[in-house]
Structure 1
Amino acid sequence: MNLFGRYFVPLLIAVGVVLPASAEDCEQQPNMAAIRNCVDKQIEQQLATAYEDTLNFVRSKDQKAADLLVDAQTSWEQFAQDSCNYTVAARQTERMANDARLNCRATFVGARIKVLKAYRQEFGHAD
C-alpha cells in the first residue's frame, strides 16, 4: 500500500472529506510533498464548492444573511489558519509539521463543509 492510501485516505474519510474520483491521481505524484499539495488542492476545491453553493442559495433567499455568511467564512478562515499554525508550531520536525498542517486543514475543512450543509438545511434546502 502506498503512503497516500495508508495515511491520507483514512484521515480524510474520518474527518468527512469525500475525495472526488480524480483524487486517485494524487497517488501518482513523485513524492510526499507533491502528494500533500495534490490532496490540499482537492480539499480546498471541496470547501470552495460547498461555500459557493451555500452562499448562492442563502443569497437567493436573504441578502443580509448572505452578507453575514461572507463575514462568518472570513472569520472561520482566520480561525482555522491560526489554529493550524499552532498545531504546526507544536511539532518537533519539519516532516511532522507538513503532515500536521495537512491533517489540521483537512479536519477543519471537513467540519466546515458539514456546517455549510447545515446552513443550507436551515434555509429549507436539504442536500
Structure 2
Amino acid sequence: MKRISNLHWTGFYRPDKVNISRYTPRPHTEALQFRNIDTRIVVERSGKLHRLCNQIKLGKKEDMVGKEVDVFISQQAKVKGLMSRTASYKPVVIPESGEFSPGQRCRLKIDEATPGYFIGHPV
C-alpha cells in the first residue's frame, strides 16, 4: 500500500472538517519506542495542514456568497451582533441588527465567507 502525506490526502479529498491533533506516544505502547520527531517539525507540519484546511473551508464557503438563506437566530455573537444558523446548521453572523433577537427566524443575504462562519444581513 502506497503511503501519502496528510497534506496530499487532505488536498485530494477536501473534507469539510478535519481534526488536527499533534500526536504524542502513550506510555506502555509500541509507539513509545519509535523515534520522536523534533517539535519544530511537528509544529511546522500541523501549521501547513491548518492553512490548507482553512483554504479548503473558505473555497467551499465562497459559493454561498450572494445567496439568500433562511436562518434561526440562536444567540448573541461573541464579538458583536447575532449568531444564527441555516437549515444545514451553517453559522451566520449578523453584525449589527437591532431589529432581531435570539429565538426569531429571518432571511439573510450572505455577504462574506470566513473559514469559520458566514456574515450576512437581513433582506
Answer yes or no: same fold by TM over 0.5.
no
Q: Which has the higher strand share?
A: 2
- Specify the structure having the higher radius of gyration (Cα): 2
TM-score by length of 1: 0.30
Q: Which has the higher helix share?
A: 1
TM-score by length of 2: 0.31
Higher relative contact order (CA 8 A, sep 6+): 1
